[in-house]
Homo-oligomer: A and B are copies of this chain.
Amino acid sequence: MISQRMGKRISQKGGIRQAYNEAQRQYEIYGKENVFDLSIGNPSVPAPDKVKETILKVLEDDFSHGYMSDAGYEDTRRKIAESLNRKYEETYTGDDIVMTNGAAGGINCTLCALLDPGDEVILFRPYYTAYEGFIENWGGKAVTVSPKGEEFLPDYEELEQRITQRTKVVIVNSPHNPSGTIYPKETAEKIARILEKKEQELGHEIYLLSDEPYRELVYDGTHLPWWPHEYRDTIVAYSFSKSLSLAGERIGYLLIPPHIGDAKNVMRAVRSSMGKIGYVNAPALFQKVAGDCVDETVDLKYYKKNRDLLYQTLKRFGFTAVYPRGAFYIFVKCPINEEEFLIRAQNRHFIFVGGSSFDYPGYVRLSFCCKQEVIERAVPAFELLARDCGLISG
């Protein structure tokens, strides 16, 4: 006798979960080395050495592992603010930072702080569908905006139409899961102007929540706009899952700039939500790691090499895909019906996640955060899959 909420949820086909189960099934039958699991965004590049060094250093000093302030350790928050100030020429302080359980934790706290039942949150398709569950937690309603053009930039007219009196939050995610695209500065500016105009019209804040777990994963020197420079009412959710390969440790932060509308209450509400949601505080030891390793990243060249090989392979065999300038995903157009394409891919021992799992059917997401050998070994299988789908003859 479980809740209707969860009854519905567990009866739905979960694309990523389904992919995980399919991978386990194939591992057993064919052996792990003969399966090309490109489904999950679990970094295979090891954490920078400084992560381990920091843990050892912290443990030497009789670290207490106890509770601290709901916002996290003061020194960690100060170090993060200082790092942002160096990067973006800002003047943040530790008081503008709340340490969270990854970006997912930060997004949940923000939505808990801002949403009344019936309030609307705008999502740009395709999107990470976990957002829907987070919005539902606080009685909010997800409202979606379609992309326009090959780079999956938003349809600005549709965005303007979708904003109502109940719009409280707009979630942006660039570098983007599942497509790897990065919004150029003009896109950020256009979104900002629309939101500013609507704030004026409606007489209340529309907060832009920038979900930035892939912020450091940018290739080819692409410029990544800093949202707080573009739009006043920006809250940033960051995660060290990808930049430091710490996905399982659940460590990230929220930046709540002091100049956003009603900033003091937003900060108090977000901090208080840490207890209400049962996070209590972000994990203690990894807060220390985050503070000391804030300017470190994993070996990005590894991901770039993966990206290049995977993208070139896809193009070579006739697939159509968005060129990813960031993150570690490629969004590939299905040459045939999505469901049928996923089955044919599975028959070639590929594990992909269907675009339906990102509210965007007709595509599949391929993750390239796997080991290089997986992509190298997969090249012949991509050729066979292309033949299976009639992209190349033979």
Which residues of A approach B to under 8 Å, CB–CB?
Answer: 1-7, 9-10, 40, 42-44, 46-47, 51-52, 55-56, 59, 62, 64-68, 101-102, 104-105, 107-108, 112-116, 119, 130, 133-134, 136-138, 168, 204-205, 245-250, 261-262, 265-266, 268-269, 272-273, 275-286
Do residues A108 and B286 form an inter-chain contact, with CB atoms below 8 A? no
A203 and chain B: residue at smallest CB distance: B1
**Cα–Cα, bound, A2→B265 (Å):** 7
**Cα–Cα, bound, A108→B266 (Å):** 23
List chain B residues, Cβ under 8 A from A65: 47, 51, 245-249
Report the minimal beta-carbon distance from A203 to chain B, rounded to whole angstroms: 10
**Cα–Cα, bound, A3→B9 (Å):** 25
Do residues A250 and B283 form an inter-chain contact, with CB atoms below 8 A? yes
Do residues A42 and B66 form an inter-chain contact, with CB atoms below 8 A? yes
Report the minimal beta-carbon distance from A249 to chain B, rounded to whole angstroms: 5
List chain B residues, Cβ under 8 A from A266: 2
**Cα–Cα, bound, A133→B168 (Å):** 23
Tally of this chain's copies? 2
Do residues A59 and B55 form an inter-chain contact, with CB atoms below 8 A? yes
A140 and chain B: residue at smallest CB distance: B3
**Cα–Cα, bound, A265→B134 (Å):** 21
Report the minimal beta-carbon distance from A177 to chain B, rounded to whole angstroms: 14
Do residues A137 and B276 form an inter-chain contact, with CB atoms below 8 A? yes
**Cα–Cα, bound, A278→B278 (Å):** 10
A281 and chain B: residue at smallest CB distance: B248
**Cα–Cα, bound, A205→B2 (Å):** 10
**Cα–Cα, bound, A119→B5 (Å):** 13
Extra inter-chain contacts (10) besides given A3-B112, A136-B276, CB under 8 Å: A6-B272, A55-B55, A66-B248, A101-B279, A105-B279, A107-B278, A108-B277, A134-B276, A137-B276, A248-B283
Partner of A1 from the list B51, B62, B262 (CB cut-off 8 Å) is B262
Report the minimal beta-carbon distance from A260 to chain B, rounded to whole angstroms: 10
Taking each of A52, A105, A107, A276, which has the highest tally of chain B beta carbons within 10 Å of its own beta carbon? A276
Do residues A133 and B276 form an inter-chain contact, with CB atoms below 8 A? yes
**Cα–Cα, bound, A62→B47 (Å):** 10
Report the minimal beta-carbon distance from A231 to chain B, rounded to whole angstroms: 16
A-B contact list, 16 entries, CB within 8 Å: A2-B265, A2-B269, A3-B116, A3-B119, A3-B269, A7-B265, A9-B272, A56-B56, A66-B248, A67-B247, A104-B275, A108-B278, A130-B275, A248-B281, A248-B284, A279-B279
A168 and chain B: residue at smallest CB distance: B1
Do residues B1 and A281 form an inter-chain contact, with CB atoms below 8 A? no
Q: Which 3 pairs between the two chains have the least Cβ-Cβ distance?
A: A248-B284, A6-B269, A104-B278
List chain B residues, Cβ under 8 A from A273: 6
Taking each of A1, A136, A280, which has the highest tally of chain B beta carbons within 10 Å of its own beta carbon? A1
